[in-house]
Chain A
Amino acid sequence: MAEKAKDKTYRLHLMVCAGTGCVSNHSYEIKEALEKEIKKHGLENEVTVVPTGCNGFCERGPILVVQPGNIFYQQLAVKDVPHLVEEHFLKGRLVSKFMYTPPEEKKPVPVLNDIPFFKKQVLIALRNRGLIDPEKIDESIARDGYKALVKALTEMTPDKIITEITLSGLRGRGGAGFPTGLKWQLVRNAASSNGGGKYIVCNGDEGDPGAFMDRSILEADPHAVIEGMVIGAKAIGATAGFVYVRNEYPLAVQRLSIALDQARDYGLLGSDILGTGFDFDIQIKRGAGAFVCGEETALMASIEGRLGEPRPRPPYPAQSGLWGKPTCINNVETWANVPMIINRGAKWYAGIGTETSKGTKVFSLVGKINNTGLVEVPMGISLREIIYDIGGGIPGGKAFKAVQTGGPSGGCIPREKIDLPIDYESLTEAGSMMGSGGMVIMDQDTCMVDIARYFLSFTHEESCGKCTPCREGTKAMLDILTRITAGKGTEEDIGLLQDLALSIKDSALCGLGKTAPNPVLTTLRYFRDEYEAHIRTKKCPAHVCRQLNIYTINPETCVKVGRGCDVCRRNCASDAITGQKNEAHVIDRAKCIKCGVCFDVCNFGAVKVD
């Protein structure tokens, strides 16, 4: 191990982001171009290129961070590579044109830590992102990887491990926030029927639209998850573990299986781990991508090879899980937190966060926000800090309207609550939930009824169909919402929607159904006026529901500014626009199918929408 680590030293390490986002932005081509260029200049013994996991600042990909120095280059293209190599790596001059300039500043910021996006983040689960090659265990070990495992296996008793986790205040990062230490204790205490054996499961069936935290952790630092699971196995007395990953995450599966092989090679997994006599091994189970399989009982059914649908609880998995044995299921992020708690102690971890929610949480920032990406922030941070300080605010200077947290199970939190400190309780209080950490930012141009309809269409598609409220109820709510967005809603619809939502929340079988009405309930709570506008005045205030829009052309603007450019007429799909060049164009309302193409193509703002 030691030999391998010191086989070569380099002057510069070029950390190329190889997260899924940057890879699809051609970061592997950039890596090859860099290597070629470095060779051309004869620097191959001084400079090395390292592909890393997701850096987090996906908006700015492909990303290159130069170590030491933490110099942050962004939005690189293959053609930029020769210039960059010559200037920076050969001549030692930083290239400012590839650096990031925050919107409110004029000068580019060269050092990663000085960039506002990174400044307020606290990295625990994502501690190794952008710093190691996830396919090399040595690099993980160099960053204290498996140190906690050694400690847990050689110095700690199972009870002590559980006490440590309990004291740290770690709660399940999958969304529901069940205290992890308590769950471990329950599984440890559970008497295993029919011949012993307990199981550990890592839930990596991340399915929320716009969420990619688990994927990122598995791709950037699979060893953190493996290490966490081995420690957990020691604590509860499990002999086998499963990582349930969606098959749509091929890179995560690939890196995880490489990591598992390497860990086995190093004696950190398998039989007689580190010579302590402790046996534990992990298998990867690939899910077919059903959203409901993220629900723990459905997930277990899927691992067992049965139909992936939930069953009633109790019995909880801690009592009777996989094949009837006590089973401890935690989310990817939860497992990734464990080694840090063991390494640095419960006290340190409990020092971060709020009264009830300790530590950090990874969020994926998506939607109408400048800095799309993955962030890890301490619990208790306000939405405002995430959206404006880290996220860089709303693009185009538009007004922030709401943030949707917790995926399709969560709800929409309005502008008035922007100073809400984020923790499990406050989000639930606001009608939403922590969820796995998706954060969809919405601006003034978002129609909240349409958003509710979108999330309902998702849960309706993904409902397994076992229980009546979820199967029929999501369909019924979706029908009503579709009706409202098409301008055919009635006054009774809001009442019926509310009734349905409450009843489904009350009576559905599993978490999917119980939380499916949340987007409807929160939008009804905070944006009832928008529903009423759709129903009473048949108007969509955000002009998103096109069936409710009325398109007109301002003749003055059309002639004076656009000189009757005729683009709208040529693009109109239903021949509803008449007019000739240099003349004002007119839309025939009877023919207009409200597709909105004229509005989109008019370069002079002559097409108006009401």
Chain B
Amino acid sequence: MVNLTIDGKQIQVEESATILQAAKKAEAKIPTLCYHPVVEPYAACRVCMVEVSLKGKADLVTSCNTKVQEGMDVQTNSERALRARRLNVEMLLARAPAAEPLRQIAKELGIKKTRFAVKDPEEKCILCGLCVRACEQIVGASAISFIERGTERKVSTPFGEPSEACIGCTACAYFCPTGAITCEDKYGRKVIHEEMYLGPTTAIRVPSRQAVPMVPFIDKEACIHFKTGECKICAKVCDREAVNYEMDDTLRDLEVGSIILASGFKPFDARRIPAYGYGRFPNIITAMEFERLVNASGPTGGKVLMANGEEPKAVGIIHCVGSRDENYNAYCSRVCCMYSLKFAHLLGEKTKATIYDFYVDMRCFGKGYEEFYHRLLKEGTKFIRGRVSEINDLALTEKEEGKLIIRVEDTLIGTVRRIPVDMAILAVGLEPSVDHNQLAKKFNISCSQDTFFLERHPKLAPVSSFTDGIFLAGTCQGPKDIPDTVAQAGAAVSEALALADAGKVELEPITAEIDDELCSGCQICVGLCPFTSITYDKDKGISVINDALCKGCGTCVAACPSGASQQKHFRDAQIFAEIEGILLV
């Protein structure tokens, strides 16, 4: 530790500390421009100069890079230091009059106007070199540097051409204290309006506001460190030293007694219906996007805004997008009607827009649902019965200019209508999740006609699959709303717990068995068994049945060409004997 005096205050700091760090501890304010805690000090702006007396010798030094020494007497605002600081700030002000942090420091130092010649009143760059240092030391790309000498000095890529070394991380713009460097790239993200993005913006984030556990992770695709090997700035600023770059995804094998599949759904991709214009018109959004938009922690803070940042004056909600449609999915997705009604209600609450609701049939089947529909009818939502045929922006009248036109056959009055709106929300249906088929294969689960997982019995075993110990919950089994999902999940858990609680498994008494002597090892039965209970024993060259898995369906028995597979209690001899007995009577 080192003892020193700063502005008459005696303090003790680490040996490796700079005067600036020590001054912070002593609560002495030193203005800085080119200093940033995470890059190497540059000592170029000369604004942080302080007067240091040591061993009877007084000198001006830059506090950002000068290390403390025992017995130093630092004066941050001595006359000499202030003269140098004021003149340096005043000269910088002539270079970059538009640089806000510089103007702030000038104001604090009482400089109203620079006495030196101003070249460009719009100039913001103070040549602090933070961008250059960030690009070199943090990013490791060294894509930009200073070019030219003296007053001609400026930041540039080699020869002023777009640099191949640039990885587009925009760290330069981030580090620039004056806004002299800006970036316009929107990174291919969907933009709701200018500054706010739908979706991730940084390499470190939590998956969503509702994420459990609420722990940030590093997105390797977006992280500079995984591109250049440098940066590590998050580790530098994390006091808890929680950042670990070596931590990788790990695969763990767990032994369990039962499995509950709750793989959920994916929303119908509205692009598959080109007539609805999703992806072509910025103000046609899906239900999921609208949910994000009205969320108070969403990109607009919960305001319903269009791409141009304005509030819509008319909004259309289109039901049954991808559901109840022979061309896409024949089934009803069950939740769309009710969430559409919720949207209509929220829109009425948050905007002054006219709300149109285009429905095929209103399916309000749950508890209190019908009442909610009636409430909406009273709130003034305009319900139009009929399937929307097209959404476009081809105006026929002046009233339709700049609007989205929803074409629909109003089946209640029997005419085709054109409804101009500012925003259209597509109530997309539910489809099995992305990896649904792989899961089905892996767990040997059958699927029903609608491609959702097939339960063992629609009434008697609605949460069980055909395989013992594997249960189904939620939309993987079929479209359903949250109450139904919760109820089904509860049932699945109960089934699993019942198994665990019993501590034993009841086996089918009637299973198949393979006669070692007769089995030729042809493996026909292995592929046929619907319960994956037959495996092939390589050493013995025969097929083997796992009794715990076999349900005694008899498929293997019927298929076995050599008669090696026999069903207990239903052996060929027994069946023949029974037939014989019947025939005898």
Which residues of A come within 8 Å of B, CB atoms?
A: 290, 292, 307, 309, 311-312, 314, 460-469, 471-476, 479, 496, 499-500, 502-503, 506-509
Contacts and interface: CB of A to CB of B under 8 A. Distances in A.
B84 A473 contact: no
Give 3 nearest A-B pairs by CB, closest first.
Answer: A465-B153, A472-B91, A507-B84
Question: In the complex, which of the residues A462, A466, A467, A474 has the most CB atoms of chain B within 10 Å of its own CB atom?
Answer: A466
A506 B86 CA distance: 13
23 contacts: A290-B149, A292-B149, A312-B41, A312-B43, A461-B150, A463-B150, A465-B146, A465-B149, A466-B42, A466-B129, A467-B44, A467-B46, A468-B88, A468-B127, A469-B46, A471-B127, A471-B153, A472-B92, A476-B91, A476-B94, A507-B60, A507-B88, A509-B62
B150 A506 contact: no
Nearest to A465: B153
Contacts of A464: 149-150, 153
A476 B91 CA distance: 8
Contacts of B47: 468
Given A460-B151, A496-B115, A465 B84 contact: no
B44 A479 contact: no
Contact of B149 (A462, A467, A502, A508): A462
Given A307-B145, A468-B127, 14 more contacts: A290-B149, A311-B43, A463-B151, A465-B148, A466-B129, A467-B43, A467-B45, A468-B91, A472-B94, A499-B83, A500-B87, A506-B49, A509-B44, A509-B46
B251 interface: no
Nearest to B80: A506
Interface in B77-127: 80, 83-84, 87-88, 91-92, 94-95, 115-117, 127
Nearest to B93: A472
Given A499-B83, A508-B46, A509-B43, A471 B88 contact: no
B46 A465 contact: no
A503 B87 contact: yes
A479 B57 CA distance: 34
Nearest to B117: A479
Grouping DSSP codes into helix (H, G, I), strand (E, B) and loop, the A interface class, with mixed when no group exceeds half, is helix
Contacts of B62: 312, 509
A468 B149 contact: no
B45 A468 contact: yes
Contacts of B42: 466
A468 B44 CA distance: 6
Contacts of A471: 127, 150-151, 153
Contacts of A462: 149-150
Nearest to B51: A506
Contacts of B41: 312
Interface residues of B, number: 34
Contacts of B129: 466
A503 B83 contact: yes
A469 B116 contact: no
B127 A506 contact: no
A506 B80 CA distance: 9
Contacts of B95: 472
A506 B92 contact: no
A240 B151 CA distance: 37
Contacts of A468: 44-47, 88, 91-92, 127
A312 B40 CA distance: 11
A471 B146 CA distance: 14
Contacts of B44: 466-468, 509
Nearest to A308: B149
A473 B80 CA distance: 17
Contact of B88 (A292, A461, A503): A503
Nearest to B91: A472
A503 B94 CA distance: 17
Contact of B84 (A311, A496, A506): A506
B354 interface: no
A472 B153 CA distance: 11
B246 interface: no
A476 B116 contact: yes
Interface string B61-89: 01001010000000000001001100110
A346 B581 CA distance: 132
B248 interface: no
A543 to B, nearest CB: 28
Contacts of B115: 496
A464 B291 CA distance: 56
A503 to B, nearest CB: 4
Contacts of B65: 312
B152 interface: yes
A469 B43 contact: no
A508 B46 CA distance: 7
Interface in B378-427: none
Contacts of A500: 87
Contact of B116 (A314, A479, A509): A479
Contacts of B116: 472, 475-476, 479
B150 A460 contact: yes
Nearest to A480: B116
B60 A465 contact: no
A462 B153 CA distance: 11
A508 B150 CA distance: 13
Question: In the complex, which of the residues B60, B115, B117, B151 has the most CB atoms of chain A within 10 Å of its own CB atom?
Answer: B151
Contacts of B149: 290, 292, 461-465
Contact of B49 (A473, A496, A507): A507
Question: In the complex, which of the residues B41, B46, B65, B92 has the most CB atoms of chain A within 10 Å of its own CB atom?
Answer: B46
A530 B44 CA distance: 35
A246 B581 CA distance: 117
Contacts of A312: 41, 43, 62, 65
A368 B94 CA distance: 39
A221 to B, nearest CB: 33
A290 B147 CA distance: 13
Interface string B129-148: 10000000000000001101
A508 to B, nearest CB: 7
B210 to A, nearest CB: 50
Contacts of A475: 116, 150-151
A311 B45 CA distance: 13
Contacts of A479: 116-117
A469 B88 contact: yes
A503 B82 CA distance: 10
Nearest to A467: B44
A343 B47 CA distance: 51
A507 B46 contact: yes
Nearest to B116: A476
Nearest to A470: B150
A497 to B, nearest CB: 12
Contacts of A476: 91, 94, 116-117
Given A467-B43, A503-B84, A473 B151 contact: no
Contacts of B152: 465
A214 B189 CA distance: 61
A316 to B, nearest CB: 13
A509 B151 CA distance: 16
Contacts of B153: 464-466, 471
A467 B94 CA distance: 15
Nearest to A496: B115
A305 to B, nearest CB: 12
Question: In the complex, which of the residues A311, A464, A465, A468 has the most CB atoms of chain B within 10 Å of its own CB atom?
Answer: A468
Contacts of B60: 506-507
Nearest to A513: B46
Nearest to B89: A468
Contacts of B43: 311-312, 467, 509
A469 B150 contact: no
Interface string B528-569: 000000000000000000000000000000000000000000
B480 to A, nearest CB: 65
Question: In the complex, which of the residues B67, B87, B127, B153 has the most CB atoms of chain A within 10 Å of its own CB atom?
Answer: B87
Contacts of B83: 499, 502-503, 506
A462 to B, nearest CB: 7
